[in-house]
Structures are given as C-alpha cells and as structure tokens.
Structure 1
Amino acid sequence: MYGSLYGWIAAAVLFLLLLMTIVYVSPIVIHGHIRKTGSNDDIELDVKGLFGLVSYQMHIPTVEFYGRVFKLHQEMTGSGAGMTSKQEQDNEVGFERVMKVIDTFKQIIQLTNHLPSWVKQTLSKVQLKQWNWSTEVGVGDAMWTAMATGGIWSFKTTMIGVMSQLIRLTAEPQLQVQPNYSKASFSTEWSCMAQIRFGHAIVAGMHLFRNAKKSKGGMKEWQNILSKA
C-alpha cells in the first residue's frame, strides 16, 4: 500500500518537474510587421507564449498626421486561459505626450537600481530569428536619390551593428534599398521575428521587481510615476 502511494507521489513530482521544464524552455515568439506605401500605413505586432496558449495581437491599420499630432486607430486582441478579449481605440499622440513618455523613462532609469545592466542582460537572452527590411526611395533628382539611398543603407547597417551587440542574431538580416530615379516616392516594408525563453522572461521580471523594491521609494514610487504617465 505504502509502496503504491510513494510511487504515485514520485510520478506526480516527476510530472510537475517535466511540466515546469517544458514551460521554462517554451519560447515567447514576437512577430512585428510594418508597411508604408505613400500615405498608406499598416503596423502589426503578434506575441505568443506557451506554445500559443497565450497570445496578444495589436493591429494599427491607419496612421493619420495632423501637423505635430498623429492619430492611431488600434485593434487589440488578447487570449489566454480559454478566454479572448478584443478592444478598439483611437489615440492621438503629440509632441507633449512623447516628451512626457521620455521624461517618465528618465525618472524610472534614475529611480531603479542597475536598470541599464538589467536591460542589457535581458536583451542578451533574445534571439533574432528573422529580419527583413526593404525600402524604395526617390526624390526626383538622380544625384539626391543616390545620396538618399546611401544614407538609408548606412542607417540600416548601423542599426544591425548595434543590435548585434545587444541580442543574438541567429539568421542573416535581409536588407534592400531600391532607388527610384524616375519620380519622388517612398515605400518601406519591415518584418522581424524574435523569441526569448519563457523562463528567461520570468527570471528577468523577478530581477526587475527586486530592483524596483530596492530603489528609493520602492514599488509605490514606480506606481506613482506610471500612473502620472
């Protein structure tokens, strides 16, 4: 009788350990896609974890500019634990709001212990699986179009160089810049796929929470800053 009971306990413990291991190594997969052609814009973000059991999608089909303000129409869908929620909203983003967000980040950086090193350590666990970025540019003049093409190439390669120092590139980035000498035009399409292990994300979250608690004012000060933002 006791042997059978111990056997069931051992099996349950092994099952829990196996389940925890699977959860730890399961990837959080992030897909991003941006397309801009003339005045047409389209932005998509898709995040999936636990083999698709938890997911979040954000779609911004339109971006409208009004002087120093641009308006976003957002469509967000989240699912998990067998439940799905959908939400749509319009947001206006202006210079003042951008500066307020920047100021909030500055306050958080100053408040939280070792935040830059935490960011660098967390990014080192991210794997970049795909990076495709194609651009077509023309300014109506051959010489200026060639200069714009070179500038865009330089910007893209510099960005890849910086990213390679922060995250793990597991695939060769695909970059294209196509000059259009016949007319003034601009279009670009970017897509990427990155992933991080669920366990690494949990550990990073725990370290951030610990650093926030140790900071001056603790979590309460964090909440005050984020609520004002």
Structure 2
Amino acid sequence: MTLWLAIPLALLLLGFVLILSSSIDFHFRLCRLGKDDRVELDVRTLFGWIRFHYELPKLVYEGIERGVKVKLEESGVAPIRSDKEDNEENIDKEKVSRWLDDIKKVLKATYGFKKWFQATLAHVKITKLDWSTDFSLGDAAGTATAAGALWGMKWCVIGWISQWVKLESSPRLFVKPVFQDDLSFSTELVCTGKISVAYGLYAGVLLLIRAFRAEGGLKQWKQLLGSKHHKSFAETEG
C-alpha cells in the first residue's frame, strides 16, 4: 500500500520539479518595409507543450480621430485551448485614454507596483537582440548625417533597455544609409528572451500579496479583470 502511494507522489513531485525548471520563452519580431508593417510574438512554455502565436499583419493609420487600425491574429496550442481568434479594431484617442485609466487603477490597486515590476523585469533574460535599418532621405548629405544620429539613438535605446533587463549577448545593430533620390525606409527588430517559470509563479504570488496590502486592491483587480472579460465576451458575441 505504501509503494502504491509513493509512486504517484514521486511522479507528482517529478512533474512539479520539471514545471519549475522550465522557462517562458518569447520571440518578438517587428518589421516595416515601405508601407507594410508586421508585428509577431511567439510565446511558449513547459518545454513547448504550451505555445501561442500573436500577429499584427496590418497597421493602418486612419487619421487623428480614428487612430490606427490593427488586426490581431491569435493562435495557440495548449491542453486547455486550441483555437484561432482574429480581432480587428481601431486604436484611437479614446482607447488610449482608457488604457491610461487602467494603468492608474493598477497602480492604485497594487502596493509598490513599480518596485514589483522592476524586480520582475530584472529576471527577464534577452538572449538575442538584432535591429537593422535601411533608409534614404533623398539627399546624400542629409542621409549620411541622419545615419550618425540614428546610430546614437539606437545605442541610447539599448542602454535604457539594459537598465531593466539582462542582456545575455551583445546586441547587433545595423544602420545602412541608401544613397538614392527617393525616400525609403525599412527596419527589422528581432528580440528573443526568457524568464523562468519558477520566478514567474513567485512574481504572481508577490503581486497577489501586494494587491492584498493595498486598500481595496483585490476588489479593484477583480473589477478590472471582470470588465475586460465581459468586454471581450461581448465583442465575440457581436
């Protein structure tokens, strides 16, 4: 009887250790070629058993009032999910304003949220960061001057990022000035990184504790997440 109880407990312990030893891996790619934009994000965890793919194949600026029109394509493979969702919406001033309000609510509902966020980012490891840009301003002198400024801007961005996350390999930055009479611009950013599942769970517990310490924090989080779920369900039904 003891042996039959020990075997499932040992298997359960082994599974738990495997889960904690895995990582959440992500691959982000942003590409702009002329007027064509594409943003892709792949996330996988538990040694690839669970993975999701998010893609923005279209970004269309429709003016100040209507904002930017985006189409999100989502797919995933997981034990509890295997579906595809396509959502098309406009990101306008009203939506940005709602996002800012949500951020304020999160800060209010979480004790020391900024400190928690910085500590979590510090455990994110960037294993690959490539950023290439080709452009022409239509004037050789102006293009050459802008190339130097672009180099400086890119290194400033990398320096700022390195203050928040760990760069495990040196970033590869490329700036290629194209000397031609026509205006042109293309850029590609590829970023690969990971964070351990163990720390992800630990960060989640800390976030729950900090929400509990804030006055009415858990209630505000529940209302915020509830409103997001209700809105998503309403859009699906529509």
Please report the RMSD computed on the Cα atoms of aligned residues, expressed in angstroms. Answer: 1.9
Select 1:37's aligned residue among 33, 37, 61: 33
The AA in structure 2 aligned to 1:204 is: A
- Alignment correspondent of 1:46: 42
Moved more, 79-88 or 131-140: 79-88
Select 2:87's aligned residue among 61, 86, 89: 89
Structure 2 residue 215 is matched with structure 1 residue 216: yes
Q: 3-state SS of the aligned residue for 1:203?
A: helix
Q: 3-state SS of the aligned residue for 1:129?
A: strand
Seen in structure 2, the aligned counterparts of structure 1 residues 152 and 110 have a Cα distance that, compared at 3 Å, is: farther
Seen in structure 2, the aligned counterparts of structure 1 residues 38 and 24 have a Cα distance that, compared at 3 Å, is: same
Percent identity of equivalent pairs: 32
| TM-score, normalising length: structure 2 | 0.87
Moved more, 52-61 or 14-23: 14-23
How do 1:1-229 residues align onto structure 2 when only pairs under 5 Å count? Answer: 5-68=1-64, 69-81=67-79, 83-182=81-180, 183-225=182-224, 227=227
| TM-score, normalising length: structure 1 | 0.90
Unaligned 5+ residue runs, structure 1?
none
Counterpart Cα distance in 2 of 1:117 and 1:213 = 16
Moved more, 61-70 or 6-15: 6-15
Counterpart Cα distance in 2 of 1:217 and 1:110 = 9
How big is the shift at 1:218?
A: 2.2
- Assess if the C-alpha contact under 8 Å between 2:25 and 2:193 holds in 1: yes
For residues 77-129 of structure 1, the C-alpha deviation after alignment (integer angstroms, 9 at most, x for no partner) is 12211641111111101123223212321332233111111111111111101
Moved more, 90-99 or 143-152: 143-152
The number of residues matched between the two structures is 225
How big is the shift at 1:39?
A: 0.7
How big is the shift at 1:130?
A: 0.8
Unaligned 5+ residue runs, structure 2?
232-238
The AA in structure 2 aligned to 1:121 is: A
Between Structure 1 and Structure 2, the one with more strand by share is 1
The AA in structure 2 aligned to 1:186 is: F
- Assess if the C-alpha contact under 8 Å between 1:54 and 1:79 holds in 2: yes
Counterpart Cα distance in 2 of 1:117 and 1:86 = 36
Counterpart Cα distance in 2 of 1:209 and 1:149 = 46
Please identify runs of 4+ aligned residues in structure 1 that moved more than 6 A: none
